[in-house]
Amino acid sequence: MKILVTNDDGVYSPGLWAAVEALRDIAEVVVVAPDRELSGVGGSVTLHSPVRAMEVEASKNGTVTYAVEGTPADCVILAMEKLVGKVDLLVSGINKGANVGADVLISGTVGAALQGYARDVPSVAISVAALKATRFDTAAQLLRGVAEQVQQGSLVPPLLLNINLPDVPPEEINGIEVTRLAQRSFIGTVSEGDDGRRPYYWIARGKPKWRVRKGTDIWALRRRRCVSITPLHADMTAVRVLSSLKGLPAQLLPALRAEQAKEP
């Protein structure tokens, strides 16, 4: 079994190495990760400049490791198409900080995992719910369990699991819940300053605003103090809205027809 490990916290992040450590005796592990922290870049891909990848000489515990001057998604694309080739599992993490609710839209951890998912490779994004998380052992062991399920064929593509763990000692975790994404947004994310010449804005993590609905990832983490596992897919079609838009084409058609009727 071959496992690709990446992240958005950068190749030196302890969370990544905790994952490698837990996986390397059940599989061949290769690390391809950004050379710096790039949390929040989502699934962005570098299209306007070359992307360099450097094999890190002093790879930890002999694991082949590449540091990439690119985004988490770049790392997976490069790995799967050039540096590594076919893998049986993609792991993104272990991330410092939860990726719940709408976080998945900007999460570099999930952004990387989506590239594996799009290539039909079972993919896992895994995070510990504390920005200053230092406890990765439980997440690492859980990851090993997931890898074994993939190995045994009980988890098959298309598969993208977004896993979050509460940042508490293992004995305080009450269980594991399969969940759906919560509704969460942030307010007060923009602060303003002045560098002496002109004003600037800084977009930062604001105050989270959420409704804790039963069965959601935030509910599992905060109310139940459980591990949350949310299956994701890349189809963002708002299925429930489809029928309410039935009349829209007829309403818009006159504008289209008028434009078509104009002289070329």
Angle at 261 between CA 257 and CA 264, to 5 degrees: 130
Nearer to Mn ion, 8 or 103 (CB): 8
Nearer to Mn ion, 95 or 230 (CB): 95
Q: How long, in residues, is the chain?
A: 264
- The CA distance from 256 to 248, in Å, is 12
- The CA distance from 139 to 226, in Å, is 12
Angle at 126 between CA 79 and CA 60, to 5 degrees: 55
Span 17-76, contacts to Mn ion by CB under 5 A: 39
Nearer to Mn ion, 36 or 52 (CB): 36
Residue window 65-104: x/- pattern of binding to Mn ion, with contact defined by CB under 5 A: ------------------------------x---------
Span 142-181, contacts to Mn ion by CB under 5 A: none
Q: Which of 140, 139, 161, 137 is nearest to 150 (CA)?
A: 161
- The CA distance from 15 to 170, in Å, is 16
Nearer to Mn ion, 109 or 150 (CB): 109
Binding segment toward Mn ion, per CB under 5 A, in 2-10, 76-84, 205-213, 240-248:
2-10
Cβ 214 to Mn ion shortest distance, Å? 28
Looking at residue 111, its amino acid is G
- The CA distance from 226 to 217, in Å, is 9
Among residues 3, 6, 8, 31, the one that binds Mn ion under rule CB under 5 A: 8
DSSP 8-state secondary structure symbol assigned to residue 252: H
Nearer to Mn ion, 27 or 217 (CB): 217
Number of chain positions touching Mn ion (CB under 5 A): 4
Task: State yes or no: residue 9 binds Mn ion (CB under 5 A).
Answer: yes
Task: State yes or no: residue 228 binds Mn ion (CB under 5 A).
Answer: no
Nearer to Mn ion, 92 or 138 (CB): 92
Number of H helices, E strands in the chain: 7, 13
Residues forming the site for Mn ion (CB under 5 A): 8-9, 39, 95
